[in-house]
Amino acid sequence: MIQEIKNRIALFNSRVGKYKEISFEAEAIADEITQLQHYFQVPIPSDLASLYTHLGGLTPYNREMFAISIDTPKYLLESISHKNKWYRCNSLGLIDYIKFCWANDRSELEEDNYLNSQQLHSLNNNYKCFGLCRTDWDNEEADYLYFDRNGNFGTVRYHQDSISALLDDYLIPLTHKSLANETLDVMLLRIINQVEEGILAEGEMGC
């Protein structure tokens, strides 16, 4: 799985040009993964743990459009303990992570605006995030990468101007059952393909 992802990213980088490349972060050490396990509060899937150990994380050259990012355990651990509340990841649960990516400033995701405490607890407790990808809406939209308690992977799309789509398509259904139905490698290869297609299409339109 790891070698397939490395090969696909090498091909991706050869096609998209230096200002759109994906790079690997520092490989995680065992102690970081052990600490991270405590904060995930559910078992880290073995394929994600392997990615952390062998690749560390994925960082795009440009984070704002057509990009995929997987946070390193070191970064997540630093974010969890950050002293500034705007930059602190309160948990690695789905809702807390989305809020974290918006500097903890998404009022629509606060308790009793659209979701009650039980729903928020379910979403944070059952689904854990570790990265995101962006396509053609810049910072206004992202697909958040998550895994469930069974070690299956999926994505949740959220556009800042469409809370109804987030609720109807993802959050409310997720309070009833998991929508995650991919392995990590299948999900990552799908996303890399989408990001590459977007970059190449953008380049063609700019010609």
Taking the model in full, what pTM does it have? 0.93
Closest CA to 23 of 71, 58, 55, 64: 58
CA distance 11 to 95: 33
Which of 15, 18, 1 is CA-nearest to residue 197? 15
Domain borders along the chain are 2-206
CA neighbours closer than 13 Å in the CB half-sphere of residue 13: 15
Residues 155-165: tens digit of each pLDDT: 999 998 889 99
Tokens of 88: 């602190």
Q: Assess contact for 92 and 129: CB atoms under 8 A.
A: yes
CATH class for the domain made up of 2-206: alpha beta
Tell me the per-residue pLDDT of 28-73, one tens digit each, with 9 for 90 and over. Answer: 999 999 999 999 999 999 999 999 999 999 999 887 789 999 999 9
